[in-house]
Amino acid sequence: MSDLPIAGLQRFGLSDYPGCVTATVFTQGCNFRCPYCHNGQLVALAVAGDLVPNEELWRFLESRRQYLDGVVVSGGEPTIHAALPAVLERLRALGFRVKLDTNGSSPGMLRALFGARLVDYVAMDVKAPLRDQAYRRLSGVGVRVADIRESIRMIADADVDHEFRTTHVPSLHADGDLSAIRASLPPSSPWRIQRFRPERALDVRLRLHEAEGCAPPEP
């Protein structure tokens, strides 16, 4: 099994997976460059610092099987890594519930994970209304909006717990954007609005804008 690039391991959490005591694995690398991202250190695929050895993760989880209910796999963007299914399969074999955080850009990977029943809970970030220009503005890159739509549909139809969530960035979201996002989601699906934390934004201009009232950065 090839290794998953693990940037960090949070060994205990009570709020990331409703009703579960969890550990959280943060994968290194993301295919988006969201200007408001508060985990900017996880964006690059290659890093100069040390990654967490996969065997260290497995040793830790083996020793905590009786204390932890589940494992959250976050990032970065976990679904860009080919090693993800094998890692989730091993988590399953250890008896853990699995929650996946994703940006929804890889519906093919999600289809494979759902088909193999490797995920119990999915939290998908929906960045913007499902229009090319709006999504580029919030994700920092060109995005196949059709893939985002497909992931939303697949997650809502899958036999897994799920939620959609949006980080509201006042200087980047236009009037009506939140209503448009809600309208793009199945009415029965939970949707959570998250508060933007400017002090850690990937784009330093957003930090300045929110703190000093400067003009927002151009897309």
CATH of the domain at 10: 3.20.20.70
pLDDT confidence of residue 214: 46
**3-state class of 177 per DSSP?**
helix
Nearest to 28 by CA among 88, 74, 76: 76
Give whole-number Cα distances, 139 to 30, 177, 194, in Å. Answer: 11, 14, 16
pLDDT of residue 38 exceeding 80: yes
pLDDT confidence of residue 206: 86
Structural domain includes residue 203: yes
Structural domain includes residue 217: no
Other beta carbons less than 10 A from residue 154's beta carbon: 18
Structural domain includes residue 1: no
Structural domain includes residue 219: no
Domain extent for 29: 6-212
Structural domain includes residue 202: yes
Instruction: Supply the DSSP symbol for 214.
Output: P
Structural domain includes residue 218: no
Domain total in the chain: 1
Structural domain includes residue 134: yes
pLDDT confidence of residue 97: 98
